[in-house]
Structures are given as structure tokens and as C-alpha cells.
Structure 1
Amino acid sequence: MDVKTNGNISFWYADIGGIPAPRSPLPGDVEADVCIVGAGYTGLWTAYYLRKADPSIRIVMVEREFAGFGASGRNGGWLSGGFWWSREKYLKTSTRGGVVDMQRAMAGTVDEVIAVAQAEGIDADIVRADNLNVAVNKPQLDRARAEYETMLQWEMPSERVEMLDARQTTARINIRNAQGAFVIRDMARVQPAKLVRGLAEAVERLGVPIYEQTEVTRIEKGRVTTNRGTVRAPLIIRATEGFTPGLPGYERAILPLNSAQIITEPLPPSLWDEIGWKGHELLGDYAHAYCYAQRTREGRITMGGRGVPYRFGSKTDVRGQTQQATIDKLKAILDRLLPQASGARIDHAWCGVLGVPRDWCTSVGLDPATGIGWAGGYVGLGVSSSNLAGRTLSDLVLRRDTELTRLPWVNRTVAPWEPEPLRWLGVHSMYQLYRIADEREEAGLGHTSRLAHIADRITGH
């Protein structure tokens, strides 16, 4: 299978004409009120809301590659507003009401991102859509129903969630062997690179410089050291997500979990008539090694999932390059769920990293003793969660006591990941067990495989 890359780190950049020309690097030693490390969604949203709140604040952004190089320009385009972390873990340091408030705040990010995109003239192919999570065997359907019940128990508005039977599911998207689906409404599809590039331009219009080609070599109290000079600032925001382990002192703070995607050629109208998908739903499934997909602006299908889930020593990919074996696995998932599209050419394949904390629950915070703030560990929900993180960090920097700064993800303490080789063994064991569990369930096992529960216990998932 000849898959194009054309030097782009994701299809989303090929879609906008290629990798953009880099901005200028840091010109030398500078001073600022706030230094933001990383120009992805988290860093850009933080700069955007800070500058809007206080136009006089001096902000400097530094980025090793270019704005949107990481997951912000490579993700699956799910503006979900979802909450798929463990509510029970947040309850350990909060209340039920606090967790419900956080769930509602996350859901509100969809409207917020769309509103900012409209206000700033960002055309990111945004389409409001439902999230359709399909089940193709009994154990998957049981998990779908359990999630539906959990959502209702946690005060998710009943009009936002629905269980579909097999007929209702295939009427939406003609998934082979569909037994049902869990639907969450009020989400949206986006073109990730368009969103992050448009946001970077909006931040620049507000007067915030983004210094690219500037590698940060150390973060410490009051100082960010780079290969281009030093930024001195009393407040520093680390917005580095899956690339965090590359910073001295943060090697075990976040685990960079790899995720990969493929995208088809544009499909003809006759094929779309067979598939359906008229609502542009965000498509996922209830396999343990789950997938995520979307129908793009020009009628392509993206299919994402785990390839090589983790590289030894928390290493990241090389500019989005992925392995042929991963491409083949993703094509097999596409063929299994949508055999109508099995003959479609695969035009592009790429990968990226998402940040995973040790307890698999995202956090945001600011340490008043060091002046160093952070946000991340989104575990794949960064398109929407980063917006709430940016607003929350803005309030923390400005020392505002708000509803956002009182949410239970603020200033959580998370244990570090184990040293190698335990990290590698744990993650790879988890996904091997997930693979076997999925195979057993597909072969007719009538309940969720115990191997999946063992996999979850190994890594605290």
C-alpha cells in the first residue's frame, strides 16, 4: 500500500497546502510577565484568554517546532466536550457536585470554541455533530449500556444521551454487525490544523509574539532556558502535553501514548449513499483498543487508533511518520466496520502523541511557590479540554477566585510514572491484553473479557 506523506506531519497540513513557513526564533534574552512553553492548543488558548483579560500583560510564547506541530495539528478532530476520565478519582479530593460542575464546564467548551472561531474568523470546517459509539458484539453493547447509565447517574441531561438499537444505528451509519450504539449529542467535528493555525494568528493579532524554532532546555523558577536565549518571567506555563518527558525533571510526569490515523481518498456520492453518515457523526466503538473516525469536509474517512502504543524511554515519533504495520491495522478496522469502503485508496497516514498522567486523569494548576503552571494529560480529549485549561490558567495567573479555579482538576497532585523498563512493559502488556480480549469477545465470549480488567489494573487505567 503506497501511502502519501509529502513531508507533512499529518493529512491536516497537506489539506491546507503543507507545513507553514516558520516564524522567527527567540531573538535572545528577553523579559516578560508570563512565558508560555509550547504553542499548541493549551498554550495558545492560555495566551488568548490572558491577553483578552489584561491587554497590558507581557506574554512570550516559545515553541520548539511551529505552532500546532504536536497533537494540536494531528488529532482526530473531535471537539467533544467529553468527560471520559474517572469521576471516582476526582471524588477523592472533591465532591460529587464539584465533579458534576467539571463535567458541565467541559461540555461547555464546544460552544466556547465555536464562538471564538466565529469571532476571530477561523474557518476550521466546524460542523456540529453527535458522537456515535457503536457496539458490534454483546460485551461491547453491555459496555455501551453501562456508560449510558453512568452518564445519567452523573446528571448528564437526558436529552444529550441516547441508546440506539441495531436498526437505528445502521440508519445513521451502516456499520457491519452493529448491535447498537450510545449517542452523545452537542459535539462537533473540526479540521485540527485549521483551528490551531487560526488560533495562533488570533493570538498574534492580540500582540503576543510566538517564537518558533526555539527549543526549551530547562524550566525553573523565574527562568526558561532555550537554545536561543533565556526568558525571565515570574510566571511560566508548561503547555507541552505528550512532549513533556523531554524536559529535564519531567521525564516521568507524563506518558506519551502514541496514536495513529489513516485517511481515505474522497469517496463518491454513490458510496456515501451506501454508508450513510449524513450527520457527520464522530464515530467511535466499544472495543478495548478503541478507534475514532470522522467524515471530512471533502468526503474522506479518517480512522484512528493505537499502533505502536508506546516507545521505550518515552520517545516520540519522527515528525508524524508511522509504521506500515500500524497502517495495515487501521485499514483492517476500517474494513471491518465499513466494508463498503474497503476498496478506497488510503491517501495519508500519520501518528502523534497524547499525554497520559499516572492516574489517567487530566489536571491544570499553578504552583505559587515556583510560579510554574501547567495543563495537560488530556488522554485524548485535548481539542476541547485545552480550551477550558486556557481559561482556567488565565484566572490562576491573574489570581482570580472563580468557578473555574475551584473545579476538582485544579492543582491535583499526580504520582509519577514508574522508571523504565516498567513503563514499557506495563503499557505494552496492557494493549496486548486488550487485543486478546477483543479477539475473544469477537469470537463469541458473552461478557467482557477478564483480560481487559487485568490490563486496566496493570496501568491504573
Structure 2
Amino acid sequence: MVRPGPGRPLGSRLVGGAAPAPRRAVRAGTRGPRLVPRPQPRDDRPHDARARRTPPPPHVRPVRAAATPPWADVRDPAGAGRVADRHRASLDGDTTADVVVVGAGATGLWTAYYLLEADPAIDVLVVDASTVGEGASSRTTGWCAARFPVATETLASRYGAAAARELRAALRDTVVEVGGVTAAEEIACDFAYGGHLVLARTPAQSARLAEAVASARRWDDEVEPLDADEAGTHLRAAGTRTAAWTPDSARVQPRALATGLARVVEQRGVRVAERTRVLRVSPRAVVTDQGTVRCRHVVHATGATPPGVPGTGRAGAATDAVAIATEPLPAPVWHELGLAHGTTFSVASRRAVHGHRSADDRLVLTARAGAPAPSGAHARLRAALVDLFPSLATRAVTHAWRWPLDVARDGYASVGVDPAAGLAWTHGHAEDGTALANLAGRTLADLLTGTSSALTRLPWVGHRSPAWPPGPAATAMLTAAAWRAAWSDRTEQPASRPRTSRG
């Protein structure tokens, strides 16, 4: 829905800044070449030409599969036809808004949603260089968990135990919040609670997992340690020694979540301009290739922070995550594996592997791979799949894709607002972006409307991560960290694993 332009009262809840001049609406109809979708560069091939040509192990066949997630062609239950075919208009010349959100991914759309929850009169414009549901947040595997990129002890050492405990509670509540909103707004995104299972398959992993369980309990997290037989009631993976289970996790289909949120916020008056590339962000203005938007506040919600956001520098850098999905598996196979819908799992290795059962009964596996991911990353992930579940050796991998992770140099995720400049940001979500996008959206809405709340006092608000070095140095640092983790896992691997009673 496009709201009236000139003469419409501006939102009264926003903090600071003079009201912009009356705006022109984004036009929904066709108007010449500006509304013709332009091809966007893609960088999601399984064998990226930029990647190092590291061959996979000789016993693993290279993965040849679709370079997109299985849900790339998901249909919008409230729309018509493929989501990818439902193009929105680009920005049509200069305009104004109260808040401009740069990025129509999960973080940007959650921010728009909660701004309208706080004050329905706020005029919000969301701009994206591509289309809704095409960004990195829609290519994740949809693990929605009460997780933060750095350990709780690290948070406590810097911000105090009470602040760390408050953040843990907020993260647990976030999983519930995502489920509640998707149900209330009738967003059909396959949200399913099921908890999370961490598997330990070596003595070193078991020791680390025991320490993690003890730590989680100190911070009031509900975690249950399991032996191999007990772990088998959740998932029967080969070589499991010990495990731990927590209820604070769910599975969601990320693209359907993004397209559903876009539908909801548009119905409430938010304007979404697709295929509108931001050229420059400055205080109270966003310059795009389709026109300039003058506003009170700009929210940067696309990952790594660009130049122009004061005090942050190059706070985020991108490293690749890779994922594979099997063909849909029949019921007898799932009975053998024991994994229920909604239950996610990971391995307590240095280079963690995460997985879940998709709504259409595929087994999806993902891991951080480097910057950029080496060409054999998908084949190695398939090898990890067969190592965990030998019975899947003959099952086809039909999809193999990648996406960039936004990683801060000190590991922290952060969110903040500079009221004087009218600039807001969030970055560093890494693998935990599905839940952190929601928490960031709620927090930014409170900060922008001047609402003092428990969220605005969380320790990640206003955190300043050190800048990454310029040029290829950041890529080299991230790649070295990934290889160190992989080397540690190889040195911890025993010659043979113990036989367990299950799996």
C-alpha cells in the first residue's frame, strides 16, 4: 500500500532531526526503463572463479548441484506466482521519508516492522539493490537460536555478569518472539520449534561440550547433557560419544520469512523500493542510482558497515558459509535418522557443522568455509554428511550454495544509533543472524523512537568493534582462522571412533 505523499503528517515518535519536505511516493506502475529489472551480478556458484582451486579429497566426488537453496523458488502464499517474479518498483526520483532502511533483508524488514509497531505514523522507506528475498539472509539455512557470536564469559568480562545474563535472556526470548510474530501475522515460513542438539564425537569435543554445558547453566540457559543412547532419541549420528540439548532453537524458512515480512510491512504503509542501489550514505540523506532520499534517520542493515557511518570504520568483513541439501528423503530414512521437524543440530568441532531437516524433508548441512570458500568446500561438506550419516552415501545432493557472513574483527555483534548524525547500524551477526536480525530490529526501533527499554540497555548496544585492515588483509586473516580451525579438527580426530549403542 502506498501512503499519501504531500501533506501527510510525519511520525511523532522519532528522535531528533528536522522534518523533511513532502515526499513523492514510489510508483507501483510501469514508467519507462527505470522499472525494468536489471540483471544483478551473482556470486553464488558452487565453484567460484575467485576461489582457490583446492581439490577435494580423492575419495569424495565433487558436488554438482543447483547453486541456490531449495527454497529459491518458494511461492508467496499471500501473493501470486513465484516470489522472484513479483518485482516491486525502483525508486522514482528524489523523495523524502522519516526513516530510510538500506537493505530489504531480515534485519531491515524487522526494523521496519517494529518501527510501525511503535508508531504507525512513521514514514519508512526500505531500499535494496536487488529484490526482497535475494540477499544473504534469505540464503542462510534458517537456524533461529538463542546464540551470540562471542562467548557469554567474554561478554561478562567486558560488560559485567548482570549485562551478560540480560543478553542471554533477551536471546532466549527472541526465538519465542520470532515464532509469535510469524504466527500472529500469518507468515507461512515453516517456523517449527524443536530445540538444538550438539554432538561430541571425539574426546576433545566431549571435554569442550562438558565445559559449554557448565557455562550455559551458570547463565540460566536450559541445557541437558546426554550420553550416546540419550542423544539417539533426538538424532542417530555415527560416532556420537556425548551430546547436549537445549530447547531454545527453531527452524525457519528464511526466504519465506523475508517475503512474508515484506508483505506485512507494505500492508501497513512501508514503501519498498527494489533494484535501487545506494551510492552514498550521509547524515539525513541517502544517495541512490535512482534519486536522493532526504530523511531523519538512515538504518544500515546490509551487513558489513560502509564508509560514512561514524565511529565504526570497516567494522564488518565477509567470509563465506557453504551449505548443501539432499534430495527429499523418504519416511523410512528419517525414521532411521530419528531427526524431527524443527530440531537443529551441530557438531562440537572447532569448525562447527550445523544441520536440520527442512520442511520438504531434505537434510541441510552448513559450515563456515573461508573468504572466499575454496572450490572443494561443498565436496568436503558432503564428506562430513556421509561421515555423520553413512546411510546417506547414495543419496543425491541436489543443492549446494554459499553466502557471505558478516564478521566483526573482535567477534562481537553490535547495534547502535548516532542521534546527531541520524545514522543507525547493526553488524557482525555471523552465523547467528536469523535470531539477531529480530533482536536488532526491535532494539533499533526503540533507539530511533527514543524508547528507554531493557533492549536499549543490552551490552551489544553501542559496542564498537575495531576496524578490519584495508585491502586483502582482512580476507587473509579470516581464511587463516578457518584453516586453523580445520587443522585443529583433523588433529583431534581419533584413528577410530567407539561403537555406540545407537547410530
Judge same fold: TM > 0.5, yes or no. yes
Deviation at 1:298, TM superposition (A): 1.8
1:438 matched residue in structure 2: 489
1:33 aligns with 2:98: yes
- Where in structure 1 are there 5+ consecutive unaligned residues? 312-321, 447-461
1:386 matched residue in structure 2: 437
2:243 matched residue in structure 1: 181
1:343 aligns with 2:404: no
Deviation at 1:71, TM superposition (A): 2.3
Aligned residues: 429
Using the TM superposition, name which of 272-281 and 98-107 deviates more.
272-281
Secondary structure in 2 matching 1:197: helix
The alpha-carbon distance between structure 1 residues 64 and 248, as it changes in their structure 2 partners (threshold 3 A), is farther
2:173 matched residue in structure 1: 108
Deviations 1:153-210 (A, max 9, x none): 2222xxx211110111123211101001121113211111111110111111110011
Q: Which amino acid aligns with 1:193?
A: R
1:457 matched residue in structure 2: none
- Bigger helix share: 1
Q: Distance in 2 between matches of 1:246 and 1:275?
A: 48
2:72 matched residue in structure 1: 13
- Alpha-carbon contact 1:130-1:279 (below 8 Å) kept: no
1:169 aligns with 2:234: no
Q: How does 1:307-346 map to 2 (within 5 A)?
A: 307=369, 309-311=370-372, 325-346=376-397
Q: Which amino acid aligns with 1:10?
A: P
Q: Distance in 2 between matches of 1:341 and 1:206?
A: 46
Deviation at 1:57, TM superposition (A): 1.0
Deviation at 1:413, TM superposition (A): 1.5
Q: Which amino acid aligns with 1:27?
A: D
Deviation at 1:383, TM superposition (A): 0.8
Q: Distance in 2 between matches of 1:355 and 1:2?
A: 26
Q: How does 1:341-420 map to 2 (within 5 A)?
A: 341-420=392-471
The alpha-carbon distance between structure 1 residues 2 and 144, as it changes in their structure 2 partners (threshold 3 A), is closer
1:291 matched residue in structure 2: 353
Q: How does 1:22-421 map to 2 (within 5 A)?
A: 22-91=87-156, 94-156=159-221, 160-242=222-304, 244=305, 252-278=314-340, 280-307=342-369, 309-311=370-372, 325-421=376-472
Deviations 1:377-431 (A, max 9, x none): 1121111111111111111111111111111111111110122343222222212
The alpha-carbon distance between structure 1 residues 60 and 350, as it changes in their structure 2 partners (threshold 3 A), is same
Secondary structure in 1 matching 2:280: strand
Q: Distance in 1 between matches of 2:274 and 2:308?
A: 17
Deviations 1:99-146 (A, max 9, x none): 111110111011111111111110111111110110111001111111
Q: Distance in 2 between matches of 1:150 and 1:419?
A: 36
Q: Which has the larger radius of gyration?
A: 2
Q: Distance in 2 between matches of 1:442 and 1:34?
A: 52
- Alpha-carbon contact 1:364-1:410 (below 8 Å) kept: yes
Deviation at 1:337, TM superposition (A): 0.6
Q: Which amino acid aligns with 1:420?
A: G
Secondary structure in 2 matching 1:241: coil
The alpha-carbon distance between structure 1 residues 324 and 431, as it changes in their structure 2 partners (threshold 3 A), is closer
Using the TM superposition, name which of 429-438 and 246-255 deviates more.
246-255
Q: Which amino acid aligns with 2:242?
A: G
- Alpha-carbon contact 1:275-1:340 (below 8 Å) kept: no
Q: Which amino acid aligns with 2:473?
A: L
Deviation at 1:369, TM superposition (A): 2.1
Q: Distance in 2 between matches of 1:267 and 1:247?
A: 48
Deviation at 1:95, TM superposition (A): 2.5
Deviation at 1:89, TM superposition (A): 4.0
What percentage of residue pairs aligned between the two structures are identical? 33
Q: Distance in 2 between matches of 1:224 and 1:445?
A: 58
Q: Which amino acid aligns with 2:227?
A: D
Secondary structure in 1 matching 2:248: strand
The alpha-carbon distance between structure 1 residues 18 and 9, as it changes in their structure 2 partners (threshold 3 A), is farther
- Alpha-carbon contact 2:341-2:358 (below 8 Å) kept: no
Secondary structure in 2 matching 1:240: coil
The alpha-carbon distance between structure 1 residues 192 and 247, as it changes in their structure 2 partners (threshold 3 A), is farther
Secondary structure in 1 matching 2:437: helix
Deviation at 1:4, TM superposition (A): 3.8
Q: Please, what is the CA RMSD of the aligned residues?
A: 2.1
Q: Distance in 2 between matches of 1:245 and 1:256?
A: 12
1:3 aligns with 2:68: no
